[in-house]
Amino acid sequence: MDTDLYATINQMAQQLQTWRRDFHQYAESGWLEFRTATLVAEELHQLGYQLQLGKEVIKADARMGLPSPAELEKQEKRAIEQGALTQWLGHFSGGFTGIVATLDTERPGPTLAFRVDMDALDLNEDLSCQHRPYNEGFASCNSHMMHACGHDGHTAIGLGLAHVLKQYESKLSGRIKIIFQPAEEGTRGAKSMMEAGVVDDVDFFVAIHLGTGVPQGEVVCGSRNFLATTKFDVTYQGVAAHSGAKPEDGKNALLAAAHATLGLYGIPRHSEGSSRINVGVLQAGIGRNVIPDSALLKVETRGETNEINEFIYQKALNIVEGAAKMQDVSVDIKLMGAAQSSHPSPQWVDFICDLAQAHLPEFTSVVKDRSQAAGSEDATYFMERVKQLGGQATYMIFGTQLSAGHHNERFDFDEQVMTTAVKTLSTIALHLPEFGAQNG
Protein backbone atom coordinates (compact mmCIF):
# COMPACT_ATOMS: atom_id res chain seq x y z
CA MET A 1 0.00 0.00 0.00
CA ASP A 2 2.74 2.48 0.94
CA THR A 3 4.47 2.16 -2.45
CA ASP A 4 1.28 2.94 -4.36
CA LEU A 5 0.41 5.73 -1.92
CA TYR A 6 3.74 7.47 -2.30
CA ALA A 7 3.68 7.11 -6.09
CA THR A 8 0.27 8.78 -6.06
CA ILE A 9 1.55 11.63 -3.92
CA ASN A 10 4.68 12.10 -6.05
CA GLN A 11 2.38 12.65 -9.02
CA MET A 12 0.70 15.46 -7.05
CA ALA A 13 3.90 17.50 -6.74
CA GLN A 14 3.01 19.86 -9.58
CA GLN A 15 -0.50 20.43 -8.24
CA LEU A 16 0.86 21.15 -4.75
CA GLN A 17 3.23 23.70 -6.26
CA THR A 18 0.41 25.30 -8.27
CA TRP A 19 -1.78 25.68 -5.19
CA ARG A 20 1.07 27.00 -3.08
CA ARG A 21 2.16 29.56 -5.64
CA ASP A 22 -1.39 30.77 -6.17
CA PHE A 23 -1.91 31.29 -2.43
CA HIS A 24 1.49 32.98 -2.25
CA GLN A 25 0.70 35.40 -5.06
CA TYR A 26 -2.62 36.35 -3.50
CA ALA A 27 -1.42 36.44 0.10
CA GLU A 28 -4.06 37.41 2.67
CA SER A 29 -3.46 38.41 6.28
CA GLY A 30 -5.33 37.09 9.31
CA TRP A 31 -9.15 37.23 9.25
CA LEU A 32 -8.89 38.49 5.65
CA GLU A 33 -8.32 35.11 3.95
CA PHE A 34 -11.47 35.53 1.83
CA ARG A 35 -10.10 34.42 -1.53
CA THR A 36 -8.05 31.61 0.01
CA ALA A 37 -11.00 30.27 2.01
CA THR A 38 -13.40 30.26 -0.95
CA LEU A 39 -10.95 28.35 -3.16
CA VAL A 40 -10.25 25.84 -0.39
CA ALA A 41 -13.97 25.37 0.26
CA GLU A 42 -14.71 24.74 -3.42
CA GLU A 43 -11.91 22.18 -3.73
CA LEU A 44 -13.10 20.30 -0.63
CA HIS A 45 -16.72 20.47 -1.78
CA GLN A 46 -15.80 18.96 -5.13
CA LEU A 47 -14.06 16.12 -3.29
CA GLY A 48 -17.23 15.41 -1.31
CA TYR A 49 -16.12 16.41 2.19
CA GLN A 50 -18.60 17.43 4.85
CA LEU A 51 -17.94 21.12 5.36
CA GLN A 52 -18.42 23.39 8.35
CA LEU A 53 -17.70 26.99 7.50
CA GLY A 54 -17.40 30.43 9.03
CA LYS A 55 -19.61 30.98 12.05
CA GLU A 56 -20.13 27.21 12.39
CA VAL A 57 -16.48 26.83 13.39
CA ILE A 58 -15.55 30.26 14.80
CA LYS A 59 -16.93 31.76 18.00
CA ALA A 60 -17.40 35.42 17.12
CA ASP A 61 -16.57 37.02 20.47
CA ALA A 62 -13.48 34.84 20.95
CA ARG A 63 -11.71 36.30 17.92
CA MET A 64 -8.71 38.47 18.71
CA GLY A 65 -7.00 41.17 16.69
CA LEU A 66 -9.92 41.53 14.28
CA PRO A 67 -9.53 44.25 11.61
CA SER A 68 -12.02 47.10 11.57
CA PRO A 69 -15.38 46.65 9.79
CA ALA A 70 -14.20 49.07 7.11
CA GLU A 71 -11.03 47.06 6.52
CA LEU A 72 -12.97 43.79 6.38
CA GLU A 73 -15.32 45.26 3.78
CA LYS A 74 -12.43 46.67 1.75
CA GLN A 75 -10.58 43.36 1.73
CA GLU A 76 -13.69 41.38 0.73
CA LYS A 77 -14.00 43.61 -2.33
CA ARG A 78 -10.32 43.14 -3.07
CA ALA A 79 -10.72 39.36 -2.79
CA ILE A 80 -13.61 39.35 -5.28
CA GLU A 81 -11.51 41.33 -7.76
CA GLN A 82 -8.77 38.72 -7.35
CA GLY A 83 -10.99 35.71 -8.03
CA ALA A 84 -12.71 34.83 -4.75
CA LEU A 85 -15.66 32.53 -5.40
CA THR A 86 -18.73 34.54 -4.50
CA GLN A 87 -20.89 31.45 -3.95
CA TRP A 88 -18.80 30.70 -0.86
CA LEU A 89 -17.94 34.22 0.28
CA GLY A 90 -21.07 34.71 2.35
CA HIS A 91 -19.88 32.04 4.80
CA PHE A 92 -16.65 33.95 5.46
CA SER A 93 -17.90 37.53 5.29
CA GLY A 94 -17.03 39.71 8.26
CA GLY A 95 -13.85 37.83 9.14
CA PHE A 96 -15.13 34.27 9.75
CA THR A 97 -12.54 32.65 7.50
CA GLY A 98 -12.31 29.17 9.05
CA ILE A 99 -13.05 25.76 7.51
CA VAL A 100 -13.38 22.26 8.94
CA ALA A 101 -13.57 19.44 6.39
CA THR A 102 -14.67 16.02 7.65
CA LEU A 103 -14.30 12.64 5.98
CA ASP A 104 -16.58 10.13 7.70
CA THR A 105 -15.71 6.61 6.60
CA GLU A 106 -18.81 5.24 8.39
CA ARG A 107 -16.59 2.52 9.83
CA PRO A 108 -15.84 2.29 13.55
CA GLY A 109 -12.76 4.15 14.66
CA PRO A 110 -11.42 7.24 16.40
CA THR A 111 -11.53 10.82 15.14
CA LEU A 112 -8.22 12.11 13.82
CA ALA A 113 -7.67 15.82 13.11
CA PHE A 114 -4.98 17.71 11.23
CA ARG A 115 -4.57 21.49 11.48
CA VAL A 116 -3.12 23.71 8.77
CA ASP A 117 -3.13 27.51 8.78
CA MET A 118 -3.87 29.88 5.88
CA ASP A 119 -2.86 33.45 6.76
CA ALA A 120 -0.01 35.62 5.58
CA LEU A 121 2.01 38.21 7.47
CA ASP A 122 1.65 41.99 7.41
CA LEU A 123 4.85 42.35 5.44
CA ASN A 124 5.91 43.68 2.04
CA GLU A 125 7.59 41.02 -0.09
CA ASP A 126 10.98 41.63 -1.65
CA LEU A 127 10.58 42.46 -5.33
CA SER A 128 14.10 41.95 -6.61
CA CYS A 129 15.88 39.44 -8.82
CA GLN A 130 17.44 37.82 -5.75
CA HIS A 131 14.01 36.49 -4.70
CA ARG A 132 12.61 33.40 -6.49
CA PRO A 133 8.89 34.22 -6.13
CA TYR A 134 9.53 37.53 -7.90
CA ASN A 135 11.73 35.97 -10.58
CA GLU A 136 9.19 33.22 -11.30
CA GLY A 137 6.13 35.45 -11.21
CA PHE A 138 4.34 34.48 -8.00
CA ALA A 139 5.38 37.19 -5.54
CA SER A 140 2.54 38.70 -3.54
CA CYS A 141 0.46 41.25 -5.42
CA ASN A 142 -1.06 42.55 -2.19
CA SER A 143 0.63 45.39 -0.38
CA HIS A 144 1.70 44.63 3.17
CA MET A 145 0.68 40.98 2.87
CA MET A 146 3.22 38.20 2.31
CA HIS A 147 3.46 34.49 2.98
CA ALA A 148 6.75 34.73 4.87
CA CYS A 149 6.16 31.79 7.21
CA GLY A 150 5.10 28.93 4.93
CA HIS A 151 1.35 28.97 5.53
CA ASP A 152 0.78 28.96 1.77
CA GLY A 153 2.56 25.60 1.79
CA HIS A 154 0.52 24.43 4.78
CA THR A 155 -2.73 25.18 2.96
CA ALA A 156 -1.52 23.33 -0.12
CA ILE A 157 -0.54 20.37 2.07
CA GLY A 158 -4.04 20.36 3.57
CA LEU A 159 -5.61 20.19 0.11
CA GLY A 160 -3.18 17.51 -1.02
CA LEU A 161 -3.95 15.47 2.07
CA ALA A 162 -7.68 15.84 1.42
CA HIS A 163 -7.24 14.42 -2.10
CA VAL A 164 -5.19 11.46 -0.89
CA LEU A 165 -7.52 10.57 1.98
CA LYS A 166 -10.52 10.64 -0.34
CA GLN A 167 -8.74 8.41 -2.84
CA TYR A 168 -7.83 5.90 -0.09
CA GLU A 169 -11.10 6.23 1.81
CA SER A 170 -11.85 2.50 1.58
CA LYS A 171 -8.69 1.76 3.59
CA LEU A 172 -9.51 4.24 6.36
CA SER A 173 -11.70 3.99 9.43
CA GLY A 174 -13.32 6.43 11.84
CA ARG A 175 -13.51 10.13 11.00
CA ILE A 176 -10.80 12.47 9.76
CA LYS A 177 -11.01 16.24 10.08
CA ILE A 178 -8.81 18.79 8.35
CA ILE A 179 -8.93 22.16 10.08
CA PHE A 180 -8.03 25.16 7.91
CA GLN A 181 -7.35 27.88 10.47
CA PRO A 182 -7.23 31.63 9.90
CA ALA A 183 -5.15 34.21 11.78
CA GLU A 184 -2.37 32.12 13.27
CA GLU A 185 0.05 35.02 12.96
CA GLY A 186 -0.29 37.03 16.14
CA THR A 187 -1.81 33.89 17.73
CA ARG A 188 -5.34 35.14 17.04
CA GLY A 189 -7.39 32.39 15.40
CA ALA A 190 -7.20 29.01 17.14
CA LYS A 191 -8.86 30.03 20.39
CA SER A 192 -12.06 31.06 18.62
CA MET A 193 -12.20 27.73 16.74
CA MET A 194 -11.42 25.77 19.91
CA GLU A 195 -14.22 27.59 21.75
CA ALA A 196 -16.56 26.75 18.86
CA GLY A 197 -15.93 23.07 19.69
CA VAL A 198 -14.15 21.96 16.54
CA VAL A 199 -11.84 19.54 18.39
CA ASP A 200 -14.22 18.43 21.15
CA ASP A 201 -14.77 15.10 19.36
CA VAL A 202 -11.11 14.59 18.40
CA ASP A 203 -9.16 11.61 19.75
CA PHE A 204 -5.86 12.28 17.95
CA PHE A 205 -4.56 15.65 16.79
CA VAL A 206 -1.62 16.81 14.67
CA ALA A 207 -0.65 20.39 13.82
CA ILE A 208 2.14 21.02 11.32
CA HIS A 209 4.73 23.57 10.26
CA LEU A 210 7.47 23.81 7.65
CA GLY A 211 10.98 25.01 8.37
CA THR A 212 11.47 26.79 11.73
CA GLY A 213 15.19 26.05 11.56
CA VAL A 214 14.83 22.28 11.18
CA PRO A 215 17.27 21.00 8.53
CA GLN A 216 16.05 19.58 5.23
CA GLY A 217 15.43 15.84 5.48
CA GLU A 218 14.58 15.97 9.18
CA VAL A 219 11.16 15.65 10.77
CA VAL A 220 10.29 16.57 14.34
CA CYS A 221 7.46 14.37 15.60
CA GLY A 222 6.78 16.27 18.81
CA SER A 223 7.69 19.88 19.53
CA ARG A 224 7.36 21.39 22.99
CA ASN A 225 9.26 24.60 22.23
CA PHE A 226 6.31 27.00 22.20
CA LEU A 227 6.03 29.70 24.84
CA ALA A 228 2.68 30.79 26.20
CA THR A 229 1.99 34.35 25.14
CA THR A 230 -0.41 37.28 25.57
CA LYS A 231 -0.44 40.10 23.04
CA PHE A 232 -2.23 43.34 23.82
CA ASP A 233 -2.56 46.95 22.70
CA VAL A 234 -2.52 49.82 25.21
CA THR A 235 -4.09 53.16 24.34
CA TYR A 236 -3.54 56.13 26.64
CA GLN A 237 -5.89 59.12 26.28
CA GLY A 238 -4.99 62.46 27.82
CA VAL A 239 -5.60 66.12 27.04
CA ALA A 240 -3.78 68.19 24.45
CA ALA A 241 -2.49 71.66 25.33
CA HIS A 242 -0.01 74.25 24.11
CA SER A 243 3.36 73.19 25.49
CA GLY A 244 4.56 76.77 25.89
CA ALA A 245 1.48 78.80 26.74
CA LYS A 246 -0.56 76.39 28.87
CA PRO A 247 1.37 73.17 29.62
CA GLU A 248 -0.45 72.81 32.95
CA ASP A 249 -3.73 72.23 31.09
CA GLY A 250 -2.35 69.12 29.34
CA LYS A 251 -2.39 65.49 30.35
CA ASN A 252 0.57 63.82 28.69
CA ALA A 253 -0.21 60.44 27.16
CA LEU A 254 3.31 60.11 25.75
CA LEU A 255 4.82 60.33 29.21
CA ALA A 256 2.47 57.62 30.44
CA ALA A 257 3.52 55.38 27.55
CA ALA A 258 7.21 56.10 28.18
CA HIS A 259 6.93 55.34 31.92
CA ALA A 260 5.04 52.15 31.09
CA THR A 261 7.66 51.02 28.55
CA LEU A 262 10.52 51.44 31.01
CA GLY A 263 8.53 49.76 33.75
CA LEU A 264 7.62 46.79 31.56
CA TYR A 265 11.27 46.05 30.85
CA GLY A 266 11.90 46.12 34.59
CA ILE A 267 9.54 43.23 35.37
CA PRO A 268 11.53 40.61 37.32
CA ARG A 269 12.20 37.24 35.72
CA HIS A 270 10.65 34.04 37.08
CA SER A 271 12.70 31.33 38.77
CA GLU A 272 10.71 28.44 37.26
CA GLY A 273 11.40 29.07 33.58
CA SER A 274 11.95 31.41 30.68
CA SER A 275 9.95 34.59 30.25
CA ARG A 276 9.84 37.45 27.76
CA ILE A 277 8.46 41.00 27.55
CA ASN A 278 8.53 43.26 24.52
CA VAL A 279 7.12 46.62 23.50
CA GLY A 280 7.18 46.46 19.73
CA VAL A 281 5.45 49.77 18.96
CA LEU A 282 5.20 53.15 20.73
CA GLN A 283 3.33 55.83 18.81
CA ALA A 284 2.48 59.22 20.29
CA GLY A 285 2.31 62.92 19.60
CA ILE A 286 1.44 65.15 16.66
CA GLY A 287 3.70 68.18 17.01
CA ARG A 288 6.70 69.69 18.78
CA ASN A 289 4.64 72.27 20.68
CA VAL A 290 1.64 70.10 21.62
CA ILE A 291 1.23 68.09 24.81
CA PRO A 292 0.50 64.58 23.37
CA ASP A 293 -3.08 63.59 24.12
CA SER A 294 -2.86 59.98 22.88
CA ALA A 295 -0.33 57.18 22.77
CA LEU A 296 -0.33 53.56 21.59
CA LEU A 297 1.78 50.67 22.83
CA LYS A 298 1.83 47.21 21.25
CA VAL A 299 3.05 44.75 23.86
CA GLU A 300 3.58 41.02 24.23
CA THR A 301 4.45 38.77 27.15
CA ARG A 302 5.69 35.20 26.92
CA GLY A 303 6.40 32.42 29.38
CA GLU A 304 7.73 28.87 29.35
CA THR A 305 4.52 27.82 31.10
CA ASN A 306 1.05 29.31 31.20
CA GLU A 307 1.65 30.25 34.83
CA ILE A 308 4.88 32.13 34.08
CA ASN A 309 3.25 34.01 31.21
CA GLU A 310 0.32 34.93 33.46
CA PHE A 311 2.76 36.19 36.10
CA ILE A 312 4.45 38.48 33.54
CA TYR A 313 1.10 39.58 32.09
CA GLN A 314 -0.40 40.57 35.44
CA LYS A 315 2.75 42.51 36.33
CA ALA A 316 2.49 44.24 32.95
CA LEU A 317 -1.13 45.24 33.57
CA ASN A 318 -0.21 46.76 36.93
CA ILE A 319 2.55 48.82 35.33
CA VAL A 320 0.38 49.96 32.41
CA GLU A 321 -2.41 51.06 34.75
CA GLY A 322 0.01 52.64 37.20
CA ALA A 323 1.55 54.77 34.44
CA ALA A 324 -1.93 56.06 33.57
CA LYS A 325 -2.48 57.15 37.15
CA MET A 326 0.92 58.88 37.28
CA GLN A 327 -0.03 61.14 34.38
CA ASP A 328 -3.77 61.36 35.13
CA VAL A 329 -4.75 59.89 31.75
CA SER A 330 -7.21 57.15 30.88
CA VAL A 331 -6.08 53.78 29.57
CA ASP A 332 -7.70 51.13 27.38
CA ILE A 333 -6.21 47.65 27.11
CA LYS A 334 -7.27 45.42 24.22
CA LEU A 335 -6.35 41.74 23.94
CA MET A 336 -4.95 41.08 20.44
CA GLY A 337 -3.73 37.48 20.62
CA ALA A 338 -2.84 34.62 22.92
CA ALA A 339 -1.43 31.11 22.97
CA GLN A 340 -0.68 28.50 25.57
CA SER A 341 2.30 26.32 26.30
CA SER A 342 1.71 22.66 25.52
CA HIS A 343 3.62 19.40 25.62
CA PRO A 344 2.93 16.67 23.07
CA SER A 345 1.50 13.31 24.13
CA PRO A 346 4.45 10.89 24.54
CA GLN A 347 2.75 7.71 23.23
CA TRP A 348 1.40 9.52 20.20
CA VAL A 349 4.83 11.00 19.46
CA ASP A 350 6.46 7.57 19.79
CA PHE A 351 3.97 6.07 17.35
CA ILE A 352 4.47 8.79 14.73
CA CYS A 353 8.23 8.63 15.15
CA ASP A 354 8.22 4.85 14.57
CA LEU A 355 6.00 5.25 11.49
CA ALA A 356 8.32 7.85 9.99
CA GLN A 357 11.37 5.68 10.55
CA ALA A 358 9.70 2.55 9.15
CA HIS A 359 7.85 3.97 6.15
CA LEU A 360 9.51 7.19 5.03
CA PRO A 361 13.12 6.62 3.94
CA GLU A 362 13.45 10.20 2.65
CA PHE A 363 13.89 11.36 6.24
CA THR A 364 17.59 11.37 7.05
CA SER A 365 16.73 12.14 10.67
CA VAL A 366 13.60 11.54 12.75
CA VAL A 367 13.59 13.61 15.94
CA LYS A 368 11.22 12.67 18.73
CA ASP A 369 11.15 16.01 20.50
CA ARG A 370 12.38 19.57 20.05
CA SER A 371 12.31 21.36 23.36
CA GLN A 372 14.41 24.53 23.15
CA ALA A 373 12.38 27.70 23.68
CA ALA A 374 11.41 29.63 20.56
CA GLY A 375 8.26 31.48 19.56
CA SER A 376 4.60 30.83 20.21
CA GLU A 377 1.87 28.96 18.32
CA ASP A 378 -1.86 29.01 18.91
CA ALA A 379 -2.37 25.40 17.82
CA THR A 380 -1.58 24.83 21.48
CA TYR A 381 -5.22 25.75 22.23
CA PHE A 382 -6.31 22.77 20.13
CA MET A 383 -3.67 20.52 21.67
CA GLU A 384 -4.60 21.35 25.24
CA ARG A 385 -8.33 20.95 24.56
CA VAL A 386 -7.84 17.52 22.96
CA LYS A 387 -5.68 16.38 25.87
CA GLN A 388 -8.13 17.81 28.42
CA LEU A 389 -10.88 15.64 26.92
CA GLY A 390 -8.75 12.49 27.01
CA GLY A 391 -7.20 12.56 23.53
CA GLN A 392 -3.61 12.77 22.35
CA ALA A 393 -1.95 15.62 20.46
CA THR A 394 1.33 16.66 18.93
CA TYR A 395 2.98 19.29 16.75
CA MET A 396 5.11 18.20 13.78
CA ILE A 397 7.79 20.17 11.96
CA PHE A 398 9.06 19.27 8.49
CA GLY A 399 12.58 20.50 7.86
CA THR A 400 13.33 22.30 4.63
CA GLN A 401 15.92 24.55 3.07
CA LEU A 402 14.96 28.22 3.43
CA SER A 403 16.12 31.19 1.38
CA ALA A 404 15.77 33.44 4.43
CA GLY A 405 14.42 33.18 7.95
CA HIS A 406 10.74 33.19 8.82
CA HIS A 407 9.05 36.61 8.76
CA ASN A 408 11.68 37.90 6.34
CA GLU A 409 10.76 39.65 3.08
CA ARG A 410 12.86 37.09 1.14
CA PHE A 411 11.41 34.00 2.81
CA ASP A 412 10.95 30.99 0.51
CA PHE A 413 11.22 27.23 0.93
CA ASP A 414 12.04 24.08 -1.06
CA GLU A 415 8.63 23.02 -2.36
CA GLN A 416 9.58 19.34 -2.30
CA VAL A 417 8.82 19.37 1.42
CA MET A 418 5.11 19.54 0.63
CA THR A 419 5.01 16.05 -0.89
CA THR A 420 7.01 14.76 2.09
CA ALA A 421 4.47 16.26 4.48
CA VAL A 422 1.49 14.81 2.59
CA LYS A 423 3.14 11.38 2.61
CA THR A 424 3.73 11.59 6.35
CA LEU A 425 0.23 12.73 7.28
CA SER A 426 -1.38 10.18 4.95
CA THR A 427 0.74 7.44 6.51
CA ILE A 428 -0.44 8.46 9.98
CA ALA A 429 -4.08 8.28 8.89
CA LEU A 430 -3.74 4.93 7.15
CA HIS A 431 -1.77 3.28 9.96
CA LEU A 432 -3.77 4.74 12.86
CA PRO A 433 -5.46 1.39 13.73
CA GLU A 434 -2.00 0.08 14.63
CA PHE A 435 -1.82 2.65 17.44
CA GLY A 436 -4.94 1.18 19.03
CA ALA A 437 -3.52 -2.31 18.70
CA GLN A 438 -0.24 -1.28 20.34
CA ASN A 439 -1.83 0.73 23.14
CA GLY A 440 -5.17 -0.98 23.64
Strands 111-117 and 175-181: parallel
DSSP for 215-267, please give it: PTTEEES-B--PPEEEEEEEEEE-B--BTTT-GGG-B-HHHHHHHHHHHHTTP
The verdict on whether residue 149 carries a ligand-binding annotation is yes
**3-state DSSP helix/strand/coil % of the chain, to nearest 5:** 40, 20, 40
Q: How many Cα atoms sit within 13 Å of 246 on the Cβ side?
A: 7
The verdict on whether residue 353 carries a ligand-binding annotation is no
Helix 253-264 vs helix 306-327: angle between axes, to the nearest 10 degrees? 150
The verdict on whether residue 270 carries a ligand-binding annotation is no
Sign of CA dihedral 147, 148, 152, 158: negative
- Residues forming beta bridges with residue 220, ordered by sequence position: 367, 397
The contacts of residue 84 (CB under 8 Å, 6+ apart) are 34, 35, 38, 39, 76
Alpha-carbon distance of 25 to 38, in angstroms, equals 16
- Residues forming beta bridges with residue 366, ordered by sequence position: 219
Helix (H) or strand (E) segment spanning residue 377: none
The verdict on whether residue 407 carries a ligand-binding annotation is yes
How many residues are given for the chain?
440
The verdict on whether residue 154 carries a ligand-binding annotation is no
- With 0-12 / 13-18 / 19 or more C-beta atoms within 10 angstroms meaning exposed / middle / buried, residue 388 is exposed
Ramachandran quadrant class, 48 (left: phi over 0; alpha: psi -120 to 50; beta: rest): left
Alpha-carbon distance of 141 to 124, in angstroms, equals 10
State phi, psi for 394 to the nearest 5 degrees.
-155, 170
Instruction: Provide the annotated binding site for Mn(2+).
Output: 149, 151, 185, 209, 407
Instruction: Provide the annotated binding site.
Output: 149, 151, 185, 209, 407
